[in-house]
Every structure is written in C-alpha cells, then in structure tokens.
C-alpha cells in the first residue's frame, strides 16, 4: 500500500519542483534587475551628491572664514546666504528645473541636438529672471530690517548682498548647464569641476579674507569668482567636446516658443521653491516666540545638520529625475517603474540609518556647534524631530524627482501649497503659539505637512499609468522640438 501511495504522489512532484524552480528564477531575476538598476542610479547619484556637497561647502566655508574675521561679518554672510541668496537660489533652481524634464526626455528619445536649444532658451529665461530679482539684492537692507534683523546686521548683510549680485547671474547660466549635463549623465564632469573650484575657493578665501584682510569684500570676490569659474569650466567642456552632439552652436531657436517654456519653468519654480523655503520659514517663525534665543540657536543647529543630509537627497533627486525622464523618452515605461521602486527603497534605507545616527548621538552632537548647556539641552530635546525630518526627507525629494522626470510640476505645486502652507504651517503656528509647545510645536506641525505631501505623492506614483506617461513624453518632445528637424 505504501508503494502504491508513493507512485500516486510521484506525478505531482515534478510539477511542484517546476513551480519552485520558476519562483526561484523570478526571485533571482528581480534581484538581478534591482542590482542592475541600483548601479545605474548610483552612477548618477554618487557624483551628484559629491557635486552638491562641494557647492554647498563653498557658502559654508565662506561663513567659517567670515566668523574668523568678526561676529558682524559672520552674521552678515549668514543672513545673506540664508535669506537673500537663499531666495534667489530657490527661484533660479526652480526655473532651471524645467530643463530636467525636457532635456531628459529628449535625450531618452534619441534627440540629443534638442538639448542645446533647450539650454539656450533656459539661459534667456533665467537671465531675465535674474534681472527681475536684482531689486531684492539692491533693497535688501530694508527687507532684512523689516523681517526683524537689527539695523547693524541689516546694513552689513545688505551691503554684502549688493556685492553678491554677480552670483545671481552665475546661477542663471549654471542651472541650465547643470540640467543639460545631468540629462546626458555627464555627472562626473560636474563633480570634477566642483572639486577643483572648491580647492581654489578655500585657498583664495584664506588669502583675501584673512591674509590680506579684505573681510566681506574678499568674501564677495571669492564667492562670486568661484561660481563663475564653475560656469566657465563647464562651458569650456561643452564647447570643446560638443557634448557628444548635444551642443551644435548658438541658435535663434532659443527665442522660439518662449512663453510656453516660461510657463513650464514657472510651474517648476513654484513646486521647488515651496519645498526649498518651507523649512527656512521654521527659523523665522521660531524667532517670533517669547524668549526665542535658545530655541532659534537649537533649531539652527538642527537645520545645519539637515542641510548636510539634504545633499544626499539632492543626489537621489537628480538621479531619479534623469532615469525617469530618459526611460519615458525612450518609451521604456517598465524601466521607469523599476527605477522608482529601487531609488525609493535605497533612499529610505539611507534615511533610516541617518535617523538612527541622529537618535544615537543626540546627547553629544549639539556640543559640536555650541558651548552653551542650555542650547545643547534644547537641541537634544528637539532632536527627535530632526530624526523624523531626516527620514521623511530621504523619500520626499525622491518623489519630487519622479515628478520632475515625468513632468508633473504643476500638479505637485498645488499639492505643496495645500500640504505645506494650508495645513503644515498653520498647524505649526497653532501648536507652537496657542498650545505653548514652542519650537517643537512649530516644527511638529510642519513635519505633518511633509508627511501629508509624501503620502499623497506615494499614492500618485503608485497608481500612475506609466504607459500613458510614455505617450505624454513623446508628445512633449514633439511639442518642444521647435520648427527645425533634429533627426
């Protein structure tokens, strides 16, 4: 009887084994796809993170040298960098980000010559934007004084802002060049240029600000010069190599379809500026609390750390924007989906590790920035919010990068307004002021806004019809191609 039972069961064994084999092959295939896509993402994200760190370091090191010159000089550079230049940087970065969608999809569609025309159109628009923003720098002493700064700091920062107008126009050329090179995955070029300029920046900052005693004037000369040097070196590379056919010289097509290009640029600017300025507002609001000195110092320390951590998120934002736009332009909707999955898992894993590091060092890291026990104690108290912010900001910029790569800027702009400024900001003000929770209440409410926005973007991304996005990308490439043939 046992023999007969075994013989009856034997025919089922090959089917079960075959099914198990298929499952194992599928799992191996998924792991292989994940690893393959991960290599592609890191090949873009790694150099992009390094580039972001180098460029962020230029402003940070200028502040460090200014601190060695004097307290007023430190305050002037810090306020100008965070308020005036911060506003200008956000607007110019946002306006230039329209190029990420257009250049990435055109490159993926095999239309590299269109990238040069797109970059020139963006130069025209960003140069005009820089002219419109110039009064912000010119009247910055009055603006800063109205925002609550002392007359002494406002005058010093305002004078420094006036000297930093050349940096604003460097942004007008830099951001289109950055998006142009990123779309072609030429991120190593940007990384090398940024590293070389950073070394030069450190030497001349020391020479002019400390050795020659030029103070703020030396800081302005070096910081302006460093940003323009980045622009010039990248342009030399593009003009010398023709960027593998993506640059074919200056064209009158740069002035065609400008209004449509402006509308897409404005949508990108609104989307990114609302994100970029959101946490900047935190310090301003906390400064309005009763006895704000200790809370402001504590939150400034946390924002400093969050700024460095954001460089990782910026790298992944650039990487997923390039990958999604390239794959949609090429018609590979499945690869676009895989890219989104891989980068989301990777960035959240890194964010989780960063969160654990913050929590593990919350009693010690404040003393890297302050000698005040009161400030350090307050920083330790609110570090739990920094930990959650670090985790959320590991995924949120990635989802914004997906939106840019797919061309959803207008939709995300509306989402940001609702989540950040109609929900998160009022919630923070109510918790901080009405319920007396102070800085923690303000920050906690604003984290709620980030949470809500992230959840909405996850839902949108999860239910996206990527086949339809391929058709949208094809239509966008035809629409923005201008009247010339690029085939």
Tokens read off for 299: 């939150």
For the whole model, what pTM was predicted?
0.84
Residue 19: per-residue pLDDT? 64
Nearest-10 crossing angle of helices 187-205, 165-183: 150
Nearest to 180 by CA among 242, 264, 273: 242
pLDDT for 413-453, tens place per residue?
Answer: 889 889 988 999 899 989 988 888 887 888 898 899 999 99
Higher-confidence residue of 296 and 469: namely 469
Question: What DSSP state is assigned to residue 282?
Answer: H
Query: Alpha-carbon distance 165 to 134, whole Å?
Result: 7
pLDDT for 172-187, tens place per residue?
Answer: 999 999 999 998 989 9
Percentage above 70 pLDDT, the chain: 91
Residue 9: per-residue pLDDT? 52
Tokens read off for 258: 């400008």
Residue 352 Cα distances to 50, 277, 316, 388, 435, angstroms: 21, 24, 15, 9, 30
pLDDT for 200-238, tens place per residue?
Answer: 999 999 999 999 999 999 999 999 999 999 999 999 999
Q: Are 92 and 168 in contact (CB under 8 A)?
A: yes
Nearest-10 crossing angle of helices 113-138, 85-96: 160
Residue 481 Cα distances to 201, 210, 253, 322, 474, angstroms: 39, 51, 9, 19, 11
Q: Are 222 and 201 in contact (CB under 8 A)?
A: yes
Question: What DSSP state is assigned to residue 365?
Answer: G
Residue 483: per-residue pLDDT? 45
């Amino acid at each position: 009887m046992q023999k007969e039972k075994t013989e009856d069961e034997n025919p089922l064994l090959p089917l079960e084994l075959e099914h198990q084999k298929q499952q194992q092959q599928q799992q191996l295939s998924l792991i292989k796809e994940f690893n393959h896509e991960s290599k592609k993402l890191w090949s873009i994200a790694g150099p992009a993170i390094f580039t972001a760190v180098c460029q962020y370091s230029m402003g940070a090191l200028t502040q460090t040298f200014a601190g060695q010159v004097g307290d007023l000089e430190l305050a002037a550079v810090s306020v100008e960098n965070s308020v005036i230049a911060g506003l200008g940087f956000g607007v110019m970065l946002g306006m230039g980000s329209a190029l990420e969608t257009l250049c990435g999809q055109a490159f993926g569609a095999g239309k590299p010559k269109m990238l040069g025309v797109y970059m020139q159109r963006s130069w025209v628009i960003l140069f005009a934007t820089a002219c419109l923003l110039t009064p912000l720098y010119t009247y910055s002493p009055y603006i800063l004084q109205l925002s609550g700064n002392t007359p002494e700091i406002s005058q010093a920062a305002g004078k420094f802002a006036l000297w930093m107008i050349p940096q604003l126009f460097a942004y007008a050329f830099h951001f289109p060049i950055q998006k142009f090179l990123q779309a072609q995955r030429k991120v190593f070029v940007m990384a090398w240029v940024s590293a070389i300029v950073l070394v030069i920046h450190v030497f001349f900052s020391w020479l002019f600000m400390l050795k020659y005693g030029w103070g703020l004037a030396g800081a302005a000369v070096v910081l302006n010069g460093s940003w323009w040097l980045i622009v010039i070196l990248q342009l030399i590379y593009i003009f010398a190599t023709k960027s593998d056919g993506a640059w074919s010289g200056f064209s009158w097509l740069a002035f065609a379809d400008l209004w449509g290009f402006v509308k897409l640029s404005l949508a990108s600017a609104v989307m990114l500026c609302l994100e970029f300025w959101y946490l900047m507002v935190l310090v301003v609001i906390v400064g309005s609390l009763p006895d704000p000195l200790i809370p402001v110092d504590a939150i400034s320390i946390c924002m400093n750390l969050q700024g460095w951590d954001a460089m990782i998120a910026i790298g992944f934002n650039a990487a997923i924007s390039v990958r999604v736009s390239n794959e949609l332009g090429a018609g590979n909707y499945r690869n676009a989906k895989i890219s989104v999955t891989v980068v989301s898992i990777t960035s959240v894993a890194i964010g989780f590790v960063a969160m654990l590091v913050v929590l593990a060092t919350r009693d010690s890291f404040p003393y890297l920035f302050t000698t005040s026990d009161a400030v350090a104690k307050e920083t330790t108290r609110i570090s739990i919010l920094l930990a959650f912010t670090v985790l959320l900001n590991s995924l949120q910029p990635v989802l914004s990068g997906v939106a840019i790569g797919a061309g959803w800027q207008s939709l995300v702009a509306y989402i940001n307004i609702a989540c950040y400024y109609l929900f998160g900001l009022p919630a923070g003000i109510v918790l901080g002021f009405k319920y007396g929770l102070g800085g923690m209440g303000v920050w906690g409410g604003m984290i709620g806004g980030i949470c809500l926005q992230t959840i909405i973007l996850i839902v949108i991304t999860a239910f996206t019809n990527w086949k339809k996005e391929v058709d949208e990308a094809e239509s966008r490439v035809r629409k923005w191609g201008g009247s010339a043939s690029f085939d």
